[in-house]
Structure 1
Amino acid sequence: MDKKLNALRDKFLSAHPISPEIHARVLAELDAIEHRHQVRVLFACESGSRGWGFASPDSDYDVRFIYVHQPEWYLRVEAQRDVIEVPISDELDICGWELRKALQLMRRSNPTLFEWLDSPVVYREDAPLAARLRALAPDFFSERKGRWHYLAMAKNNFRGYLQGETVRLKKYLYVLRPLLAARWIDAGRGMPPMRFADLADAMVDEPQLRAEIRQLLAIKMAAGEAELGARFEQIHAFIEGELANEQPPADFKRPVGSEAALDALLREAVWPAPIAAAEAG
């Protein structure tokens, strides 16, 4: 492996490349969304490979956000659209969930929302509200649902993309990451971290497998999203073994989150001034 790949291999542990120009562009897009839709963005992060820590040079920027409407929006008889999607422009892929939808998904233990809240790349946030969301998340995390989500993702990607002798290299990471997340849950560690490096460091003990994962990451971070290559034998054998030896889920504990806490957070986000005035009185 040449010096460039060695450098990239060592860099991957903290690789979340967002240039100042892209950061400023994302903030400008969020400002435009607020003006266009008359909403307030409460939280915005990276959700894709740049958040996971294995972006290619041509990876998109997958910006995800949570927003709240003006109070009148919540007083309509008919349900309104609760997603904002911006047409993909160049490398920016931006979409968001309305806060009530996000809280409903938290109540249902949605792994994607938990990953957003753990993203190492945060563009904007209402710090007190984001802290409350992160504090509530563990109480609503279902080990059973999380495990099912990650194993299904691993199986689908493995069967769909890694069956030939030549494979799309990035798909290995789209199988490895959910498999390691399932391992994390089975080990009783709770919500898996979003960063792939954290999962790999904690859940991969085999030296040869660790070395091959580092090699794969170095190639992935230097090559394009569509890069093809020969199988990685250690990684392939690990994936096949994990999927073949899957055990029935343990008797996981049930989430203990309080819906009243979610209701209170929603009320305070939608009507912060009246609630603050009432409390002061």
Structure 2
Amino acid sequence: MKILSAHPIEPLMRERVMDELTAIEARHDVRVLFACESGSRGWGFASPDSDYDVRFLYVHKLDWYLRVEPQRDVIEVPISDELDVCGWELRKALQLMRRSNPTLFEWLDSPVIYREDAGVGEQLRTLKSAFLSERKGRWHYLAMAKKNFRGYLQGETVRLKKYLYVLRPLLAAQWIDAGNGMPPMRFADLADAMVLEPALREEINALLAVKMAAGEAEHGARFPLIHAFIERTLAAEKPPSDFKKPTGDATALDRLLLDAIGQVGAFLPKHST
């Protein structure tokens, strides 16, 4: 039994996202290099009323990088209806890659890409495996699973979507423990590989069917097999001791940043004397 998955992006919403990215470029005088879906629509279990969580990477012209005082390196657009748009400046993103940031790695693996500079996107995906810290990624996912389990799944009636916000990071940690490297963003890929018990897979599909048909705030009774799996897995959690260390060369990140700025056609401004 395959795990259910869907990535619903309405054509009109895709067009709206593309228009918003173009407007951001004009408003902030930047170039958007990469934009993707990062939330439940990217994970594959969106509700009908789920937001569109658009995340992007951008680069400024050269003079922005040559200022004495650090400049703001995040662009956030006020949430409008169901559209949530936020971006990181490329140097910030590369600093986070050097620190093995799982969120950035997930963006690069998103099954829903709105825009991508082919050269930059390819370089980022090539580099991410060299900067992956299995230990840091595992800690990130387990902390997320524990926080959501404690905060949302303790009653007899629970907010159903929170099961997926525990299951996904829990399975991601198991993926890392199995020596598979960076976990895939799609929940179905994780569950198909890591959940082998037929009855548990069936209950996960039942949960997904409810989540993908109901609203984000839907509450309901516990799913007993899922709940027991989470409790059992968290109780038995014991960190392995043989993680591989990242092997990335930071100079490769410097070259990528320089190349990306150069592609914008940015030059030092000429001043008259």
TM-score by length of 1: 0.93
Tell whether 2:126 aligns with 1:143.
no
- Equivalent residue for 2:156, pick from 140, 165, 187: 165
Tell whether 2:116 aligns with 1:97.
no
Secondary structure of the structure 1 residue equivalent to 2:207: helix
Q: Is 1:186–1:250's contact at 8 Å kept on the other side of the alignment?
A: no
- Equivalent residue for 1:229, pick from 220, 223, 226: 220
Tell whether 2:115 aligns with 1:124.
yes
Match of 1:247 in 2: 238
1:24 to partner: Cα distance: 0.1
1:249 to partner: Cα distance: 2.6
* Runs ≥4 residues deviating over 6 A: none
Q: Structure 1 pair 50/222, CA: closer, same or farther in 2 (3 Å)?
A: same
CA distance in 2, matches of 1:248, 1:237: 20
Match of 2:70 in 1: 79
CA distance in 1, matches of 2:264, 2:60: 14
- Equivalent residue for 1:198, pick from 189, 194, 198: 189
Secondary structure of the structure 1 residue equivalent to 2:91: helix
Aligned residue type for 2:11:
P
1:272 to partner: Cα distance: 3.1
Q: Percent identity?
A: 76
1:271 to partner: Cα distance: 1.6
- Equivalent residue for 2:23, pick from 26, 32, 47: 32
Match of 2:178 in 1: 187
TM-align CA RMSD:
1.4
Q: Is 1:151–1:179's contact at 8 Å kept on the other side of the alignment?
A: yes
Q: Is 1:57–1:224's contact at 8 Å kept on the other side of the alignment?
A: yes
CA distance in 2, matches of 1:65, 1:273: 16
Q: Structure 1 pair 274/49, CA: closer, same or farther in 2 (3 Å)?
A: closer
TM-score by length of 2: 0.95
Tell whether 2:31 aligns with 1:46.
no
Matches within 5 A, 1:14-29: 15-29=6-20
Aligned residue type for 1:157:
N
Q: Can you give the 5+ residue segments of structure 1 that lack an aligned partner in the other structure? A: 1-8, 276-281
Matches within 5 A, 1:49-60: 49-60=40-51
CA distance in 2, matches of 1:54, 1:271: 39
CA distance in 2, matches of 1:37, 1:274: 16
Match of 2:263 in 1: 272
Q: Structure 1 pair 137/219, CA: closer, same or farther in 2 (3 Å)?
A: same
> Greater share of helix residues, 1 or 2?
1
Q: Structure 1 pair 274/157, CA: closer, same or farther in 2 (3 Å)?
A: closer
Secondary structure of the structure 2 residue equivalent to 1:271: helix
Q: Can you give the 5+ residue segments of structure 2 that lack an aligned partner in the other structure? A: 267-273
Aligned residue type for 1:217:
L
Match of 2:144 in 1: 153
After superposition, give the CA deviation of every residue in 1:70-105 in whole Å (9 maximum; x if it has no partner): 111000010000000000000000000000000000
Q: Is 2:29–2:60's contact at 8 Å kept on the other side of the alignment?
A: yes
